[in-house]
């Protein structure tokens, strides 16, 4: 089955990606900090997932038939909250509470705090193991829901990720889609210097996965790849996405790449203006 990439779908995803980035900048400004570079980089992936692909009911976050979206990288929560607001799980006005005492939106993703947050992340390398168990359980139950896990290239350094990759392929869990955000950076520096993981696509294929690599900031390419993953049968699928840190905001794209990006108080508005300029004049 092939679903056409219509202009309508593409426009909806682009608009959502713009708003996710905009929300992330607003949240970053409230705290004066945040993993804003990664959030801007992953916005297109989340826009496709939350506005085009996932079967969910925002007013019933625990609906048994929902597709599960597991965020292993807890510090990307700022981006996921923006996507959850875009999808209607949480009110947009609530985003300004991000990282504050008593908020449902802690700086690192916590399953018990936030509607739509499936797992607590932050201790890296566990998302795919949980995804594998969940997918096995769904299959036993005859539940056709799918399980997605968004993980980082830094998590490819974790042995547990590859143990899960083996188990998931062994069980032929074609209800699993892993999405690897390859931004070529991790906490300790450039991924290539910390621990070389390339050729990433070949490694996943060797582990028995249906693997595709795309430009993670190209909504049309992402839509086509997600469609393909959804219909693939016989093995789990992985989408390796090359993303640009700070994508959509030239001020931050051009900055020296850092895991934790400093943004000065007067730069948030410049960033919003640049984002708006890029979106409306694309
Ligand atoms: Mg990374």
Give the count of domains, the chain. 1
Q: How far is the CA of 25 from the centre of ligand 1 (A)?
A: 19
- Whether 143 is in a domain gets the answer yes
- Whether 232 is in a domain gets the answer yes
| Overall average pLDDT of the 154-182 stretch | 97
- Whether 113 is in a domain gets the answer yes
Q: How far is the CA of 34 from the centre of ligand 1 (A)?
A: 15
Kindly report the backbone phi and psi dihedral angles of residue 180, in degrees, each rounded to the nearest multiple of 5, phi listed first.
-105, 120
Q: How far is the CA of 185 from the centre of ligand 1 (A)?
A: 4
Q: How far is the CA of 61 from the centre of ligand 1 (A)?
A: 28
Q: How far is the CA of 75 from the centre of ligand 1 (A)?
A: 11
Q: Half-sphere exposure of 212 toward its Cβ, with a 13 Å CA cutoff? A: 19
Residue 24 CA from chain centroid, whole number: 13
Q: Residue 1 above 70 pLDDT?
A: no
| Overall average pLDDT of the 204-213 stretch | 98
Helix 7-31 and helix 77-87, axial crossing angle in degrees, nearest 10? 130
- Whether 1 is in a domain gets the answer no
Share of the chain above pLDDT 70, in %: 99
Q: Are 37 and 245 a contacting pair, CB within 8 Å?
A: yes
Please choose, from the candidates 73, 85, 75, 160, the residue with its C-alpha nearest in 3D space to the C-alpha of residue 116. 85
Domain extent, residue 79, equals 7-280
Q: What is the pTM of this model?
A: 0.96
- Whether 228 is in a domain gets the answer yes
Q: How far is the CA of 180 from the centre of ligand 1 (A)?
A: 9
The residue that leads in pLDDT, 30 or 140, is 140
3-state DSSP call for residue 219? helix
**Angstrom distance (rounded) from CA 75 to CA 96:** 17
| Overall average pLDDT of the 57-78 stretch | 96
CATH number of the domain that residue 131 is part of? 3.40.50.970
């909504």: which residue's tokens? Answer: 219
- Whether 2 is in a domain gets the answer no
């Amino acid at each position: 089955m092939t679903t056409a990439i219509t202009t309508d779908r593409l426009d909806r995803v682009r608009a959502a990606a713009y708003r996710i980035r905009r929300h992330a900048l607003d949240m970053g400004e409230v705290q004066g900090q945040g993993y804003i570079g990664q959030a801007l980089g992953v916005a297109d992936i989340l826009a496709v997932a939350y506005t085009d692909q996932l079967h969910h009911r925002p007013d019933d976050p625990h609906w048994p038939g929902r597709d599960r979206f597991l965020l292993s990288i807890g510090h990307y929560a700022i981006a996921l909250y923006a996507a959850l607001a875009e999808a209607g799980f949480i009110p947009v006005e609530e985003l300004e509470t991000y990282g504050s005492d008593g908020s449902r939106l802690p700086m690192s993703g916590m399953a018990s705090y936030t509607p739509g947050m499936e797992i607590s992340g932050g201790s890296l390398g566990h998302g795919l193991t949980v995804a594998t168990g969940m997918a096995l359980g769904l299959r036993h139950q005859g539940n056709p829901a799918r399980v997605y896990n968004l993980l980082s290239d830094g998590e490819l350094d974790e042995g547990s990720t590859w143990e899960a990759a083996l188990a998931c392929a062994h069980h032929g869990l074609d209800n699993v889609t892993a999405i690897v955000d390859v931004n070529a950076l991790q906490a300790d520096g450039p991924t290539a210097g910390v621990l070389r993981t390339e050729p990433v696509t070949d490694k996943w294929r060797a582990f028995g996965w249906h693997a595709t690599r795309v430009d993670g900031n190209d909504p049309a390419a992402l839509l086509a790849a997600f469609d393909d993953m959804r219909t693939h049968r016989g093995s789990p699928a992985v989408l390796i996405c090359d993303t640009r840190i700070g994508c959509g905001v030239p001020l931050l794209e051009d900055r020296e790449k850092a895991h934790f990006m400093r943004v000065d108080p007067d730069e948030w508005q410049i960033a919003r203006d640049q984002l708006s300029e890029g979106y409306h004049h694309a």
